[in-house]
Structure 1
Amino acid sequence: MNLVSNDSEIRGENVYSFDEFCSKRESLDWYRDDLFLQKSAEHFIGLDYGKINERILTFSPTVSLKWNQLAERMARPEVRPFMLHYDAFNHRIDRIVRPMEAHQLEKEIFGEGLFSNKMAPWESFVKRLLIHQLGEAGVACPLTCTHGLIGIIEQFPNENIPELEEILKHTKEGLNGEFAIGAQFMTEIQGGSDLPANLLEAVPDGGNYRLYGNKFFCSVAHADYSVVTAKISGSNKVSTFIVPSWLPGDKMKEKRNGYEINRIKWKLGTAELPTGEINYKGALAYPVGPKDKGIAVAAGIVLTLSRLEIGIACAAFMLRASREANLYSDFRTVFGKKVKDYPLAACKLKYIENAAQRTTAGAFKIYDTFLRLERPLNPGLDSDLPMEVRKQLFIFRELVLLQKISTTNEGVKVLNEAMSIFAGHGVMEEFSSLPRIFRDVVVNEQWEGPRNLLLTQIYRDIQRVTEWLSPSEFVGGVLHGAAIETIHEFSLQLENLLQKPVLGIVNEASMEAATEWDTFCSALFKAYQELALNEIEAKANIK
């Protein structure tokens, strides 16, 4: 006798499915379906928006589906990069082994020619913002470092070193359809962000140099070329160099240019990105930029571009977090109601969306300033520049620093809040990208100067320029277009803080002042973001 009439009546059968949620998520186009991102692009791009918008609409589906799938596959722990130091014949090769998906993703993204003269800067910006929504994915940092390497060679062309022009072409326009990858190796074990403590030695060799010593944090260890800081023999000041990973004809032979990779770091986040420790044993290096001004060159050009890109990445991370949290909250039902219909969840979703839009608006506005300035990347502020130009460049420099510390700090909070919308599924690595991106933003908070270091730098920078840029002028420049009352309030706070022992000896008064400074910087940049957001919304409302 058959006691069960059909399969659906089997006791204890779980028929719940996430298919609807997964299907909607996979069908989303990260640009076409994001009206705010389109409004932001239209507002800041201006007259060229129409043609650039069409190209981005064509580009976006590839990022949203194909590249996202590759990024998720290569994030699995069993395929993370590892070192193969020797081949079968005992030759030292230091091969960095990465999964096929990493090579495919890298080739396709770099093949877009994002820094080519053929691509408009705004088109590149929006495309990179979409790419950053993948998380690090082994390509975000390489893109950023390549941009910095291009920037430094363009800023300091040297016809006496033709190899630099070849490197520029290889990274910017590609050679025979292949685009090279750049890196920046500056940190040493004894110094961290303290570049003056560099001990790597550059020994003259004709018109070039040979490097000897160690670098301790070398992200994009698989790069074709790197920007490296070192001290020329007999000098106590840092210079900058471009170092090829392989000399001509040696890449296929896996014969590196006079250096070894000791190991790959085990990091909290950006795990798909090979970060190594490098031991230089006479690597050929090409000097770039003024000798003995390597710190100014690195900070003014390479690190400025990296910090600028981190702000763009944080905007992308938050946009993705907001999109996926909203999608899930509209799908998931708990105790008879959708997650989004609970006030506690609704207020979190509102905060996440606002933070994402503020951060995106701020990233667009700073990049707009970057494009409008004639020479935004400078190894220090030239005293021969017109005073108004010096002021504009200084304000831009500080905005980049404020964006870096503010967006990474808030990014951690936003990703954490977004994961909480998913409840237990929020920490499941295969359920969504959010845990992976959460770890990436934590790492980004430490890269290119951790929060305390940059807060100190901003304070010292403003102190140094008070003779030609008053606190009220600085605040007025940052918040240009804001209400007079807002500018006045922030100006008074800044004037007051510059009189306090923010950088004094450690005691109760200095710690209280330091806390006030931290809070002030976050509030000032949030006001800047809100100003940018209001600009976009006002323009959209007029239409």
Structure 2
Amino acid sequence: MSLPEKNNPYSFKEWLEKRRINFFEHDIFLQRCIKHYIKNDYDYLNEKLKEYGNNVSFRWTDMADECTKIENRPYIINYDNFNNRIDRVVRPITMELMEKEIFASGLFSETTGDWERFIKIMLLNQNGEIGIMYPLLCTQGLIHIIDELTDSSNRHSEINKILRHCKEGINGEFGIGAQFLSGIQNELDVATITLEAQYEEDNWRLFGSKFFCSAIHADYFIIIAKIKNSEKTGIFLLPAYLPEEKKNNYRNGYTIESLEWKLGTVELPTAEMTFNGSIAYLLGDFDYETNNVLETILLHSKLGIGTTTIGAAIRAVREAKLYSEFKETFGVKINQFPLVVVKLRELQAELERIVAGSFKLFDLFLQSGGKFKVINKADPIEVRKKKFLARQLVLFAKIYNSKVSTNIIHEAMSILGTQGVIEDFTCLPRLYRNSNIFELCEGPRNELLTKLYNDFKINADWFSIEEFVNESLTGSDKEEIEHYTQLINEIIAHPNLYNLDEKTICIAKRWDKLSDDFMMAFQELARQQVLKKL
């Protein structure tokens, strides 16, 4: 029993102190994954990640908590005091400073290795999207697109400058990219795009409207448009400002009509735009299949989104564990409650699966060349198979990780009780609303599952389901490999996923469940490989 006291002595000081830890040094399983996959450079990389972890865990965590307060959400000023159209996106100074520091850490520099970049981005995402992580992902995609579609020997000088700005920085300032690739209703279907490109006075100019344009504050946009009076499409690079107009804040021939209020990544300004003759650079030619190029672009984003959601899940489980060591109910710390212990163990096991799976998948991605390129029939068959394996697994992982991470964060919030939904008490509500958005970003579940299904059918003549499952689950029991081979073959044997009949609906239901089961098997294998190694 306790007696009432008007000066309530209850304090969260112990809880707040527990949370002030280096995210990297505290994460033993993450370090195990690094040791498993990065053997030669582990000691060197470990020291760099400790230092980076300090920035992420203390300075940038405090800045993230500040700039994500409701009063600091972005808004737009369409006109200046002299009635000039400027469409200035206003974001908190704290966010702009943190963005500058994160981009200046040189994640896309030639001096930053693939594994170093991958792990640093996973650490950064433990603070949520914060209006910075999606632009970071888009900037990586922009760099890849320029490298993929243009030849360094004959690029336009401005494109070379843009590439240098995004990778190495110019005078300490780093460029930020955005990708406006989809039609109004479909992110994967180029046929729905209606934005028009015209060639006038030695320049390509864009006309029309775009919706749900995220990271509207970026310096450069990648945009797909159709050539006037033609079904041909092109991929364009559009600077937000022309060099001679940036000092006046006059945008490059487009207007920002409004910012869209959305669930989830509210710190990230997302807009409706109208292009009125914006000058853009054509990347590549019109004689390639834009659908295939778009697919490779979005695969980089999907791989990144998998890392994004995992970073959030890592932070969520840590918050839940630390709070369970602090909170008392009925005179007992809740980490002594069997039901809480069961839930925390489940969350930890699920987290280890998706973390280990992400490392295994990234390793396969590097083995396939480290870049998603259009699969060329002229490539050697083994090269094509490695590319296809990585592409399909990225889709499986994006579908599964974004769903599971959202559930992990939700369950972690429940450990904190009502405190778990207070945004200025814990980061969990922020991570939860972010994660809901990333389930939909770069293609919702139903579209990606249809894409997976179609790709298996189309490419079955040179890469069988048996080979795919064997390569994915190498090291698993023979029975498990045969089990998934049989199930996927049964589903792929169905004519299509478009007929609205009961048999197709049954197949669709089985495919939806099987995709989760298969990725869980892939990730559990990766987890066991990491644990057994040590």
1:86-105 counterparts in 2 under 5 A? 86-105=79-98
Corresponding residue number in structure 1 for 2:384? 390
Q: Corresponding residue for 2:126?
A: 133
The question of 1:150 aligning with 2:146 is answered no
Give, as a single letter, the amino acid of the residue that structure 1 aligns with 2:387.
Answer: L
| Deviation at residue 524 of structure 1 after TM alignment | 0.7
In 2, Cα distance between equivalents of 1:208 and 1:351? 57
- Give the 3 Å change call, closer, same or farther, for CA 498–61 of structure 1 in structure 2: same
Corresponding position of 1:5: none
CA deviation vs aligned residue, 1:98-147 (integer Å, no higher than 9, x gap): 00111111000000010000111111111111001110011110100000
**2-structure distance, mates of 1:252, 1:316:** 38
Deviations 1:475-514 (A, max 9, x none): 1121122221111110011111112366142233222211
Q: How does 1:361-510 map to 2 (within 5 A)?
A: 361-374=356-369, 376-379=371-374, 381-500=375-494, 503-510=497-504
Q: Look up the SS of the partner of 2:266 in the other structure.
A: coil
| Structure 1: 5+ residue stretches without partners | 1-7
Q: TM-score, normalised by structure 2?
A: 0.96
**Offset of 1:10 from its aligned partner?**
7.7
Cα distance in 1 for residues equivalent to 2:159 and 2:409: 41
Match of 2:506?
A: 512
Counterpart contact for 1:196–1:237, Cα < 8 Å = no
For the Cα contact (< 8 Å) 1:228–1:243, is it kept in 2? yes
Q: CA deviation at 1:335?
A: 1.3
Aligned length: 530
- Stretch moving more, 364-373 or 139-148: 364-373
Q: 1:11 to 1:315 in 2, by over 3 A?
A: closer
What letter corresponds to residue 359 of structure 1 in structure 2? Answer: I
CA distance in 1, matches of 2:80, 2:368: 50
1:295 and 2:288 equivalent? no
Question: Using the alignment, how far apart are the partners of 2:116 and 2:439 within structure 1?
Answer: 26
Following superposition, the deviation at residue 317 of structure 1 comes to 0.9
SS in structure 2 of the partner of residue 243 of structure 1: strand
1:441-494: CA deviations, max 9, x gaps? 000001100000000000000011111111111111211222211111100111
Specify the SS of the correspondent of 1:31: helix
**Contact 2:357–2:523 under 8 Å retained in 1:** yes
Match of residue 4 from structure 1: none
Alpha-carbon deviations, 1:345-367, whole Å to 9, x = none? 22211121112111111111111
Q: Which amino acid aligns with 2:403?
A: N
Distance 1:487 1:15, change over 3 A: same
Q: Structure 2: how far apart are the matches of 1:468 and 1:501?
A: 19
Give the Å deviation of 1:206: 5.7
Letter in 2 for 1:535: Q
The 8 Å contact of residues 188 and 295 in structure 2, kept in 1 or not, is answered as no
In structure 2, C-alpha distance between the alignment counterparts of 1:127 and 1:344, rounded to whole Å: 34
Pairing partner for 2:336 from 324, 335, 341: 341
CA drift of 1:11 comes to 3.8
For 1:449, what is the secondary structure of its paired residue? coil
Alignment partners' CA distance in 2, 1:512 and 1:501: 13
The residue type equivalent to 2:106 in the other structure is G
Structure 1 contact 260–279 (Cα < 8 Å) conserved: yes
Q: CA deviation at 1:191?
A: 4.0
Counterpart residue number, 1:67:
60
Distance 2:413 2:190 in 1: 37
Aligned equivalents of 1:433, 1:506: Cα separation in 2: 43
Q: Report the secondary structure of 1:385's partner residue.
A: coil
Structure 1 residues 191 and 312: CA distance shift in structure 2, 3 A: closer
Task: Tell me, in whole angstroms, the C-alpha distance in 2 between the residues paired with 1:41 and 1:200.
Answer: 44
**2:303 paired residue number:** 308
Contact 2:368–2:390 (Cα < 8 Å) also in 1: no
| Alignment match of 2:41 (pick from 17, 42, 48) | 48
Tell me the equivalent position of 2:111: 118
Say if 2:184 and 2:192, in contact at 8 Å, map to a contact too: no
CA distance in 2, matches of 1:89, 1:193: 42
Q: Which piece of structure 1 moves more, 362-371 or 259-268?
A: 362-371
Whole-Å Cα distance in 1 between the matches of residues 33 and 156 of structure 2? 42
Instruction: Give the partner amino acid of 2:223.
Output: V
Structure 1 residues 401 and 191, CA, compared in 2 at 3 Å: closer, same or farther? closer
Q: 1:50, 1:196 → 2: CA distance?
A: 50
What is the alpha-carbon distance in structure 2 between the residues aligned to residue 487 and residue 36 of structure 1? 27
| CA distance in structure 2 between the aligned counterparts of 1:274 and 1:343, rounded to whole angstroms | 43
Shift of 1:193: 4.2
Amino acid at match of 2:28: L
1:536 to 517, 530, 534: 530
- 5 Å-filtered alignment, 1:211-290, equals 211-290=206-285
User: Which residue in the other structure is 1:76 paired with?
Assistant: 69
In the alignment, is residue 174 of structure 1 matched against residue 133 of structure 2? no
Q: Aligned to 1:119, what secondary structure does the other structure show?
A: coil
What is the CA–CA distance in structure 2 between the aligned matches of 1:311 and 1:288, rounded to whole Å?
Answer: 27
Q: Is the 8 Å Cα contact of residues 318 and 355 (structure 1) preserved in structure 2?
A: no
Quick check: 290-299 or 435-444, which moved more? 290-299
Counterpart of 2:10? 16
- CA distance 1:277–1:392, change in 2 (3 Å): same
| Counterpart selection for 2:159 from 161, 164, 189 | 164
Alpha-carbon separation, structure 1, partners of 2:200 and 2:378: 34
Shift, 1:190, TM fit: 4.8
Identical pairs, percent: 40
Find the residue that maps to 1:248 and give its secondary structure. coil
The answer on whether the counterparts of 1:240 and 1:297 sit within 8 Å (CA) in structure 2 is: no
1:525 match: 519
Secondary structure of residue in 2 paired with 1:276: strand
**Structure 2: how far apart are the matches of 1:375 and 1:233?**
36
Name structure 2 gaps, 5 residues minimum.
none
Letter aligned with residue 51 of structure 1:
Y
Aligned Cα root-mean-square deviation (Å): 1.6
TM-aligned CA deviation for residue 13 of structure 1: 3.3
**Contact 1:502–1:513 at 8 Å: present in 2 too?**
no
Q: Deviations over 1:2-55 (max 9, x none)?
A: xxxxxx9984432111110111112x1100111111111121122011111111
